[in-house]
Amino acid sequence: MEKNWVKIYTSTNYYQSEMVKQALAGQDIETVLLNKQDSSHRTFGNIEVYVHQSNFSDAIEILILNQIIL
């Protein structure tokens, strides 16, 4: 991954991470999902959502306004 990317969200559920990604993509914020789950046991590991450092504040605001981060 390139420099200046910040982890904004972590979950063990893929669909929750995908919801975060889609909420941010709807506001033209580029996101990257990094799946760190074990390939044979989906209960181990996390899926992380990253945004570019320059979009961090906007991304947090979007997630709070959409009540995605509680």
Mapping DSSP onto H, E and C, the string for 15-64 reads HHHHHHHHHHHCCCCCEEEEECCCCCCCCCCCEEEEEEHHHHHHHHHHHH
Is the predicted pLDDT of residue 24 greater than 70, yes or no? yes
Give the Cβ contact number of residue 19 at 10 Å: 17
Is the predicted pLDDT of residue 68 greater than 90, yes or no? no
Section 30-40 average pLDDT: 85
Residue 66: band (very low, low, confident or very high) from pLDDT cuts 50, 70, 90 = confident
Domain boundaries, the chain: 5-53
Res 69: pLDDT: 63
